[in-house]
Amino acid sequence: MEMLRIENIVKQYANHTALDNISITTKAGEIFGLLGPNGAGKTSLIRIINQITAPDQGQVYLSGKIIDRSDISKIGYLPEERGLYKKMKVGEQALYFARLKGLSKSDAKQRLKIWFEKFDISAWYDKKVEELSKGMAQKIQFITTVLHEPPLLILDEPFSGFDPINTELVKNEILRLKANGTSIMLSTHNMNSVEEICDSIALLNNSKLILDGSLDDVKEEFRTHTYAIKFKGIMLAFANALWTGFALIDKEQIDDNTAIAYVQLKNENSLNDLLKTIMPEVEIISVNEVLPSMNDIFINAVKQNKEGGQHE
Amino acid sequence: MSNLKLIIEREYTTRVKKKSFLLLTILVPLIFVGFMFSVMYFSLEETKQVKVLVVDPGQWCGTDIFQENSETAPAQFFFFEQYIGEVKTFVEHEKFKDYDVMINLNEKVPANRMVPIFYKKNLSLKTKEYIQNRIEARIREYFALKKTRLTLAEYNMIQLPFDFKFKDAHNPQGEDLTTENAMVGFGFSILTFFFIFFYSNQVMRGVIEEKTNRVVEVIISSVRPFQLMMGKIIGIGLVGLTQFLIWVLISGAGLLVLRAFVFQDVVDPSNWDAEAMDSQIMVTEGLQGINKTIAFIYGFPWLGFIATFLVYFVGGFLIYSSLFAMIGAMVDSETDTQQLILPVTLPLLLGYMVAAMMISNPESHLGTVFSLIPLTSPVVIVIKAAVGSAGPLLLTCSIILLILTFLGTTWMAAKIYRTGILMYGKKASWKEVIKWLRYK
């Protein structure tokens, strides 16, 4: 079931196009990673979904229906540029945000209590925001984003400002929300977290969509067909055995008689062909495929895009 | 709608709860009432009677100076018919140690019209005026009798002042208080000017605060930018009104208390010393002036005037605060606002200057024109309202223009605000801002 359908969105500013005909669909209940370098148009797109700005062309659908003002309460948005009123008390402020999202005062109070306990910040309820550490403020912002339990969460760089412990806390919270059926759109530069928690991704570069699909599909697409082969024997013999169908990309000597070779398959050759070629020369200990990390995919995709050869 | 209410509530309560608000709100009227009190009190205060030595070798005064009541008069006169050559003698000689003041009526006085009066301790204005009036009246009489053929009665008749009274032909019974009324109007001009400027500034600072705090995007994901802007404007406007109403209430109550307990004998004409009042002697004029002021303050048509003032205060505030909100959205920090504020404040300043000119001429054409221009009318029209020359036609036209301008500026400000609040890290140029007006 689809959650968000973004159709042919175009957004133009005075001197540049921020979004050039973007179409993306996300599934209900998945964590969707919206990726791209700085200035690619992610924030512009997110603001359009949140109806903070209007697109020049195109439509956004939420659960199959054109999005309108009444859908605001169905979205929880954690902007990248986020802050709190410094002079207000923590609890007062959280309450204010919750009520702006349509929660009643008593309802909001009750939920806040649960969340403040969960994040271990109950003692801070009556403190002023200016007394908080950055991580503490980030926790409060996260809470105010999810408090009204919206079916769709849009989190822009949710982990920035957190130490590893709190990053883990928030990550687990995101996964728990997902397990409860919340759809999540995540925009981040932290590729590790993308790999860990995203189901699908879209990659924007220069206002254009250059890549999208499930994480597995994207990884498949960016497979380099490179294998790490650990063997006993002489590296020179191993290298000599390879003919033009294979390329030795890297090697690593473990001890006198053991080494790992990184070999990329070329042409139509398969792993079987490679193994057949080297088996007579060395004793194979293990063979693993080297899959590209999200980091590599990101860099490669953006690079390819820059060189003009758009992927696919 | 409920979100707008929430925003207004926040803007209002966070400001009203501040200590500085409380201080300003309570202190200002107390200072005002205290000032009124001290002005009245000190001018009524009995000053110590001084002993005046009139050195009068020519015997012009003839040891006879009229005093209606020499016991309570500010000065008592004594006469000395020899020259005292040096002031030092007056200061140092044992004989003169009981006298506080010496008046030297030497032979040069009639020619160069200069009467030196030496005091040992500085005198109050009231005492000085008293002495001057008495001596002057006496010398004039002396010379009138000596140098002319007039009788004393004839001379005194000529000396009686004429009271020129300007009266409204439509209301010949009423007193002409145009200048006094215009002064009250101008007072409120100043008040309007500062209120609008001060609270519009608060709106601007609020916008900048939200921008630099980065809290704005969080909020406009829940409410429309227009709601946020209007909520802020209305909330802060209500703070201003609250402050004004508290000022009016405390000042009003203070004046009533003063009238009821402290100055009752002054305000009640039956307590006035009719004889002293009617006498031609000018020393009582000071007291009369105070009585007039008090009577004027309590007699001014406050209700209708304040209603007009409030309409224009609200209208003017809405116009200027939306412009200031716009400026707040255009910049990234308060230091960038200076040159943007100037063109926006200029009309307000101009209106203020026109208002100042209108004190002497409340009916001027310039004033009428500026009463119609919505950017200046709030500070100008209060003067017309105070002197009663803001007719229904002028008021209607002016208010309609005020409302139309408010709608226009708010529309424009909302468009610019919407884009500006999400622009971080730079100050927008006017050229860019005009483009923002066209964004979807």
Based on the fold, state whether residues B393 and B372 are members of the same structural domain. yes
Q: Are B224 and B1 in contact (CB under 8 A)?
A: no
Q: Which domain holds residue B111?
A: 50-159
Residue A208 lies in a domain: yes
**In whole angstroms, what is the distance from residue A64 CA to residue A225 CA?**
39
Instruction: Name the CA radius of gyration of chain A, rounded.
Output: 24
Give the distance from residue A88's alpha carbon to the nearest chain B alpha carbon, in angstroms. 8
Based on the fold, state whether residues A258 and A161 are members of the same structural domain. no
Residue B105 lies in a domain: yes
Q: Which domain holds residue A87?
A: 2-220
Give the distance from residue B337's alpha carbon to the nearest chain A alpha carbon, in angstroms. 21
Diameter of chain B measured on Cα atoms: 97
Among B219, B422, B435, beta carbon nearest to A100: B219
Q: Of chain B residues 88-147, which have a CB less than 8 A from chain A? A: none
Q: By the CB < 8 Å criterion, does A243 face chain B?
A: no
Based on the fold, state whether residues B148 and B251 are members of the same structural domain. no
The least confident of A54-68, B58-72, B396-410 is B58-72
Q: Which two tokens stand for residue B293?
A: 């002021």
Domain-ending residue, one of B97, B132, B159:
B159
Q: Are B300 and B181 in contact (CB under 8 A)?
A: yes
pLDDT at B394 over 60: yes
Among A56, A77, A86, beta carbon nearest to B221: A77
CA A123 to chain centre: 33
B1 pairs with which residues across the strands?
none
Q: Which residue has the tokens 């063109």?
A: B343
Based on the fold, state whether residues B75 and B181 are members of the same structural domain. no
The structure's pTM equals: 0.77
Based on the fold, state whether residues A144 and A241 are members of the same structural domain. no
Q: By the CB < 8 Å criterion, does A17 face chain B?
A: no
The least confident of B40-44, B190-194, B317-321, B413-417 is B40-44
Count of domains for chain A: 2
Based on the fold, state whether residues A117 and A192 are members of the same structural domain. yes
In chain A, residues with a C-beta closer than 8 Å to the C-beta of B432 are 14
Q: Do A97 and B422 touch (CB under 8 A)?
A: no
DSSP-based three-state secondary structure for A21: strand
**In whole angstroms, what is the distance from residue A144 CA to residue A178 CA?**
17
| Count of CB atoms situated within 10 Å of the CB of B148 | 10
Q: By the CB < 8 Å criterion, does A52 face chain B?
A: yes
Residue B5 lies in a domain: no
pLDDT at residue B440, as a whole number: 67
Based on the fold, state whether residues A162 and A234 are members of the same structural domain. no
Residue of chain B with shortest Cα separation from A96:
B6
Based on the fold, state whether residues B363 and B335 are members of the same structural domain. yes
pLDDT at B101 over 80: yes
Q: Of chain A residues 115-134, which have a CB less than 8 A from chain B? A: none
Based on the fold, state whether residues A157 and A272 are members of the same structural domain. no
Domain-ending residue, one of A201, A220, A239:
A220
Q: What is the domain-level CATH number for residue A42?
A: 3.40.50.300
| Count of CB atoms situated within 10 Å of the CB of B253 | 12
Q: Which of B262, B202, B248, B222 is nearest to B38 (CA)?
A: B262
Residue B155 lies in a domain: yes
The least confident of A133-142, B202-211, B316-325 is A133-142
Q: Do B215 and A83 touch (CB under 8 A)?
A: yes
Q: Do A79 and B440 touch (CB under 8 A)?
A: no
Among B6, B14, B214, beta carbon nearest to A100: B6
Among B3, B219, B435, beta carbon nearest to A14: B435
Q: By the CB < 8 Å criterion, does B259 face chain A?
A: no
Q: Could you tell me the sign of the dihedral formed by the alpha carbons of B404, B409, B410, B415, in that order?
A: positive
Residue B2 lies in a domain: no
pLDDT range class, residue B206, cuts 50, 70, 90: very high
Q: Do B422 and A47 touch (CB under 8 A)?
A: yes
Based on the fold, state whether residues B80 and B111 are members of the same structural domain. yes
Residue B171 lies in a domain: no
Size of interface A-B (CB pairs under 8 A): 64
Based on the fold, state whether residues B64 and B30 are members of the same structural domain. no
pLDDT at B213 over 90: no
Residue A310 lies in a domain: no
Angle at B414 between CA B410 and CA B417, to 5 degrees: 130
**In whole angstroms, what is the distance from residue A271 CA to residue B266 CA?**
113
**In whole angstroms, what is the distance from residue A132 CA to residue A171 CA?**
21
pLDDT at residue B275, as a whole number: 42
Q: What is the domain-level CATH number for residue A283?
A: 3.30.70.60
Angle at B135 between CA B129 and CA B137, to 5 degrees: 95
Residue B316 lies in a domain: yes
Based on the fold, state whether residues A154 and A251 are members of the same structural domain. no
Query: For the sheet containing A208-214, what is the strand order?
Result: A75-78, A152-156, A183-187, A31-35, A200-205, A208-214
Query: For the sheet containing A258-265, what is the strand order?
Result: A246-255, A258-265, A226-232, A283-290
Q: Are A159 and A193 in contact (CB under 8 A)?
A: yes
CA A62 to chain centre: 20
Query: What number is the average pLDDT over the span B5-18?
Result: 92
pLDDT at residue B175, as a whole number: 66
pLDDT mean across residues, chain A = 89
Query: For the sheet containing B50-55, what is the strand order?
Result: B75-80, B50-55, B101-104, B117-119
pLDDT at residue B46, as a whole number: 59
Q: Do B214 and A88 touch (CB under 8 A)?
A: no
pLDDT at residue B300, as a whole number: 79
In chain A, residues with a C-beta closer than 8 Å to the C-beta of B219 are 97, 100
Query: What number is the average pLDDT over the span A247-268?
Result: 88
Question: Which residue would you say has higher pLDDT here, B171 or A80?
Answer: A80
Domain-ending residue, one of A220, A253, A274:
A220
pLDDT at A311 over 80: no
Based on the fold, state whether residues B249 and B379 are members of the same structural domain. yes
- Reported as type and span, the H/E element at residue B123 is none
The least confident of A3-7, B60-64, B291-295, B388-392 is B291-295
Residue B168 lies in a domain: no
Count of domains for chain B: 2
Domain-ending residue, one of B93, B126, B159:
B159
A33 pairs with which residues across the strands?
A186, A201
Based on the fold, state whether residues A108 and A211 are members of the same structural domain. yes
DSSP-based three-state secondary structure for A127: coil
- Per-residue pLDDT tens digits for A197-224: 999 999 999 899 988 899 889 888 888 8
Based on the fold, state whether residues B230 and B357 are members of the same structural domain. yes
In chain A, residues with a C-beta closer than 8 Å to the C-beta of B14 are 85, 87-88
Query: What number is the average pLDDT over the span A250-266?
Result: 89
Q: Which residue has the tokens 């966070």?
A: B14
pLDDT at residue A37, as a whole number: 87
pLDDT at residue B286, as a whole number: 47
**In whole angstroms, what is the distance from residue B268 CA to residue B89 CA?**
48
Based on the fold, state whether residues A110 and A129 are members of the same structural domain. yes
Based on the fold, state whether residues B19 and B119 are members of the same structural domain. no
pLDDT range class, residue B397, cuts 50, 70, 90: very high
Residue A87 lies in a domain: yes
pLDDT at residue A312, as a whole number: 40
Q: Which of A27, A127, A147, A13 is nearest to A78 (CA)?
A: A147
Based on the fold, state whether residues A264 and A187 are members of the same structural domain. no
Q: What is the domain-level CATH number for residue B146?
A: 3.40.190.10
B116 conformational bin, left if phi > 0, alpha if psi -120 to 50, beta if neither: beta
Q: By the CB < 8 Å criterion, does A88 face chain B?
A: yes
pLDDT at residue B403, as a whole number: 94
Q: Which of B49, B47, B99 is nearest to B78 (CA)?
A: B99
Domain-ending residue, one of B159, B192, B216:
B159
**In whole angstroms, what is the distance from residue A124 CA to residue B85 CA?**
86
Query: What number is the average pLDDT over the span B152-159?
Result: 84
- Per-residue pLDDT tens digits for B79-92: 888 888 788 888 88
**Residue A207 per-residue DSSP state:** T
B77 pairs with which residues across the strands?
B52
Residue A301 lies in a domain: no
Residue B170 lies in a domain: no
Q: By the CB < 8 Å criterion, does B214 face chain A?
A: yes
Q: Do A52 and B422 touch (CB under 8 A)?
A: yes
Based on the fold, state whether residues B274 and B388 are members of the same structural domain. yes
Residue A53 lies in a domain: yes
Residue B202: partners with Cβ closer than 8 Å, 6 or more residues away:
B15, B236, B239
**In whole angstroms, what is the distance from residue B288 CA to residue B297 CA?**
14
Based on the fold, state whether residues B236 and B331 are members of the same structural domain. yes
DSSP-based three-state secondary structure for B266: helix
Based on the fold, state whether residues B325 and B384 are members of the same structural domain. yes
Residue A309 lies in a domain: no
Residue of chain B with shortest Cα separation from A72:
B222
Residue A307 lies in a domain: no
Amino acid letter, B394: L
Based on the fold, state whether residues A84 and A124 are members of the same structural domain. yes
| Interface test with chain A among B4, B6, B220, B222, by most A beta carbons within 10 Å | B222
Q: By the CB < 8 Å criterion, does B13 face chain A?
A: no
Residue A312 lies in a domain: no
ipTM: 0.82
Q: By the CB < 8 Å criterion, does B222 face chain A?
A: yes
- Per-residue pLDDT tens digits for A100-119: 988 999 999 999 999 999 88
Q: By the CB < 8 Å criterion, does B432 face chain A?
A: yes
Q: Could you tell me the sign of the dihedral formed by the alpha carbons of B98, B100, B104, B109, in that order?
A: negative
Q: Are A212 and A25 in contact (CB under 8 A)?
A: no
**In whole angstroms, what is the distance from residue B415 CA to residue B437 CA?**
6
Residue B330: partners with Cβ closer than 8 Å, 6 or more residues away:
B340, B416, B420, B427, B428, B433
Give the distance from residue A300's alpha carbon to the nearest chain B alpha carbon, in angstroms. 30
A212 pairs with which residues across the strands?
A202
DSSP-based three-state secondary structure for A188: coil
Based on the fold, state whether residues A137 and A238 are members of the same structural domain. no
Percent of chain A with pLDDT over 90: 45
What is the DSSP annotation of B207-247? HHHHHHHT-HHHHHTTS-HHHHHHHHHHHHHHHHHHHHHHH
The least confident of A65-74, B140-149, B172-181 is B172-181
Among B10, B214, B223, beta carbon nearest to A81: B214
Amino acid letter, A106: S
- Per-residue pLDDT tens digits for B265-285: 544 444 444 444 444 443 344
Based on the fold, state whether residues A152 and A8 are members of the same structural domain. yes
pLDDT at residue B45, as a whole number: 62
